[in-house]
Amino acid sequence: MAVTRDKRFNELWLTENSSDNLRLSLRVSEVLHSEKTKYQDILIVNTPEYGRTLMLDGAFQLTERDEFCYSEMMAHVPLCAGSKPEKVLIIGGGDGAILKQVLKHNCVSKCVLIDIDERVIENSKEFMPAISENAFKDERAEIKCMDALKYIKDTREKFDVVIVDSTDPVDFAAGLFQAEFYNDLKNIMQPDGILSELTESPFTDTELMQQAINQMRQVFNNVRMYWGAVPTYPSGMWTYGIACNNLNIDLAEPVRSVNNTRYYTNAIHKAAFILPPFLSDLIK
Amino acid sequence: MAVTRDKRFNELWLTENSSDNLRLSLRVSEVLHSEKTKYQDILIVNTPEYGRTLMLDGAFQLTERDEFCYSEMMAHVPLCAGSKPEKVLIIGGGDGAILKQVLKHNCVSKCVLIDIDERVIENSKEFMPAISENAFKDERAEIKCMDALKYIKDTREKFDVVIVDSTDPVDFAAGLFQAEFYNDLKNIMQPDGILSELTESPFTDTELMQQAINQMRQVFNNVRMYWGAVPTYPSGMWTYGIACNNLNIDLAEPVRSVNNTRYYTNAIHKAAFILPPFLSDLIK
């Protein structure tokens, strides 16, 4: 992970290798922070078009300009598919973007956020305060810096919604796409509890996407996929898995709504479950 | 427009400047053809992940891997919104991708394709035959190499569907996003005729997108926008304008269907008209 200088134009560019054969680059106006933590490389830059941008281990995590596309779909689809979510668990998401969305729901009385790397939380608060706004200070937010795999094995809490907002499933995050993990999650979910998790791009991470959905299906009765646009994620076409154990819940049919959104609406919720045939064929 | 060699790894990469601040790069396995025509620079390469790829004046036009996302939505949405399209006009589209989709509709008796640059057609046939398959040989196809602006002023044909598959609206294609052009098109369309045109990305070409929709509204009574994913187009989130003069036609409601598609279905047709609020706000 490195910022490169385009010598001809004296420009700084930050590049993600979306795959071995595809790269996305953002022009950088200022490098704000760079740090190697116990878990990963953190890089925070400012960019002229996408605003402040967080990169972890060479992968764009979010930009101020387009994070709403991802954060709103990760949070509001499971929250609006459930009848009255009160307790929510976010795994990962140390930048606070999902937390901010979850707390828009007044029925939520408690939101536990567990990120393994407290440096992501601290740096996000310092360098990207617009992402979380006041979410970290909300009295309903409970922030824990620890391994989520351990937390879900030990806790006695039961959650109505669980949102897995992890980095790509390699290294310390590899366990977050496995059936054992989903089994542990099921144990801390209410009977009608709903899980959402990013399941990568059908173009750049086809097998990871298929694996995540298949592992979910081993554990949950009711597993669906939905999708949306996220310009700075690989290929721009992003998928999400959603699961619960009650077959009577139609995950594609919102039963609640939320205000102050820029991507999510109840109509978008329903539309996002309509998959192009090339995509539904991949997860048959 | 140039293929650059990554010296450290001895790799060839082809880069599009999606904007001044965003770049997309595909790794190249082989440069198949490079030519400067009277109108533009043509570059055709092979890539390990996206197959054969056509670039015009530095902008990715299509890749074998993801062109279906674009071609199917450009063609089948207007064709399925109309009750019985017989005569179709394609402006641009010299690669034959849209033509192939149009000819999937058996009710189409004639499809005129007008591309200003015959070298695009010839090179596409030679280096990317899988894109058009047998479409150029279909007896319903009528290929003309000339300026579309002149053709639509002179012809006495009347079309049921017009598809504007242009390059970005600069240089010789600049006229293709203007009210005068839409007026001329209206004159060669049947009373219930339907027009579709790419309207760029809301992220990288916000103003062009707004301008195209506004110019359409000056000429047509019934103008809508729909969107879809196209991974190798700027930002991956792509919009299309669709217009007709009959307010009783619900453009979002297909009245016909088509087989052998990988992106388009009637359900996707309807879903594509559901716009995230940030996008509908841009074209209010």
pLDDT in tens, A40-88: 999 999 999 999 999 999 999 999 999 999 999 999 999 999 999 999 9
Q: What is the CATH number of the domain that holds B30?
A: 2.30.140.10
Whether A142 and A256 map to the same domain: the answer is: yes
pLDDT at A171 (0 to 100) = 72
**Chain mean pLDDT for chain B:** 94
Nearest-Cα distance to chain B for A28, in Å, is 8
Report the alpha-carbon distance of residue B17 to residue B21 in Å, rounded. 8
pLDDT at B169 (0 to 100) = 72
In one-letter notation, the amino acid at residue B106 is: N
In percent, the amount of chain B with pLDDT more than 70 equals 98
What confidence category does residue A8 fall into, taking pLDDT thresholds of 50, 70 and 90? low
pLDDT at A2 (0 to 100) = 63
Whether B31 and B81 map to the same domain: the answer is: no
Whether A102 and A25 map to the same domain: the answer is: no
Is the Cβ pair A25, B22 closer than 8 Å? Answer: yes
Place of tokens 């339907």: B194
Are the beta carbons of B219 and B183 closer than 8 angstroms? Answer: yes
pLDDT at A251 (0 to 100) = 98
The yes-or-no answer on residue B168 being catalytic is: no
Q: Is A10 on the interface with B (CB under 8 A)?
A: no
pLDDT at A169 (0 to 100) = 72
Nearest-Cα distance to chain A for B264, in Å, is 6
Report the alpha-carbon distance of residue B117 to residue B37 in Å, rounded. 8
Nearest to A27 among B21, B48, B237 (CB): B21
Chosen from A6, A14, A24 to mutate, greatest number of chain B CBs within 10 A: A24
pLDDT tens digit sequence for B186-230: 999 999 999 999 999 999 999 999 999 999 999 999 999 999 999
pLDDT at B2 (0 to 100) = 63
- Name the pTM for this structure: 0.95
Are the beta carbons of A236 and B237 closer than 8 angstroms? Answer: yes
Nearest to A276 among B21, B263, B270 (CB): B263
Is the Cβ pair B237, A235 closer than 8 Å? Answer: no
Whether A121 and A226 map to the same domain: the answer is: yes
In percent, the amount of chain A with pLDDT more than 70 equals 98
Q: How far is CA A227 from the centre of its chain?
A: 13
Which of A139, A224, A234 is closest to B235 using CA atoms?
A: A234
Nearest to B229 among A26, A27, A236 (CB): A236
Selecting among B66, B117, B160, B165, the annotated active-site residue is: B165
Are the beta carbons of B278 and B87 closer than 8 angstroms? Answer: no
Q: What is the CATH number of the domain that holds A95?
A: 3.40.50.150
129-188 of B, contacting A, C-beta below 8 A: none
List the domain range (segments joined by +) for residue B175. Answer: 67-282
pLDDT tens digit sequence for A147-185: 999 999 999 999 999 999 987 777 777 777 788 999 999
Residues of B in contact with A227 (CB under 8 A): 229
pLDDT at B178 (0 to 100) = 86
Whether A246 and A129 map to the same domain: the answer is: yes
Nearest to A263 among B19, B263, B276 (CB): B276
Examine the fold and report which residue of B63, B94, B109 is the final residue of a domain before the chain moves on: B63
In percent, the amount of chain B with pLDDT more than 90 equals 91
**Chain mean pLDDT for chain A:** 94
Q: Is A3 on the interface with B (CB under 8 A)?
A: no
Q: Is B132 exposed, middle or buried (0-12, 13-18, 19+ CB in 10 A)?
A: buried
Examine the fold and report which residue of B40, B63, B86 is the final residue of a domain before the chain moves on: B63
Q: Is B278 on the interface with A (CB under 8 A)?
A: yes
Whether A49 and A153 map to the same domain: the answer is: no
| Contacts of B19 by beta carbon, 8 Å cutoff, 6+ apart | A49, B204, B205, B234
Q: Is A261 on the interface with B (CB under 8 A)?
A: yes
pLDDT at residue A248 tops 80:
yes
Residues of A in contact with B263 (CB under 8 A): 276-278
Nearest to A235 among B236, B271, B274 (CB): B236
Whether B93 and B54 map to the same domain: the answer is: no
E runs forming strands in A188-265: 189-198, 222-229, 237-244
Number of neighbours of residue B191 by Cβ within 10 angstroms: 9
Mean pLDDT over A114-127 rounds to 97
> What is the domain count for chain A?
2
pLDDT at A138 (0 to 100) = 98
Whether A144 and A43 map to the same domain: the answer is: no
3-state secondary structure of B120: helix
Whether A48 and A152 map to the same domain: the answer is: no
pLDDT at A242 (0 to 100) = 98
What confidence category does residue B166 fall into, taking pLDDT thresholds of 50, 70 and 90? confident
Examine the fold and report which residue of B19, B38, B63 is the final residue of a domain before the chain moves on: B63
Backbone angles phi, psi at B273, to 5 degrees: -85, -10
Whether A30 and A89 map to the same domain: the answer is: no
Chosen from A12, A16, A25, A262 to mutate, greatest number of chain B CBs within 10 A: A25
Mean pLDDT over B139-143 rounds to 98
Whether A72 and A56 map to the same domain: the answer is: no
Query: B73 to chain A: nearest residue by CA?
Result: A276
Nearest-Cα distance to chain A for B105, in Å, is 19
Is the Cβ pair B49, A20 closer than 8 Å? Answer: yes
Report the alpha-carbon distance of residue B35 to residue B40 in Å, rounded. 8
Whether B112 and B209 map to the same domain: the answer is: yes
pLDDT at A1 (0 to 100) = 58
Report the alpha-carbon distance of residue B201 to residue A231 in Å, rounded. 10
Tokens standing for residue A218: 């081993």
pLDDT tens digit sequence for B63-109: 999 999 999 999 999 999 999 999 999 999 999 999 999 999 999 99
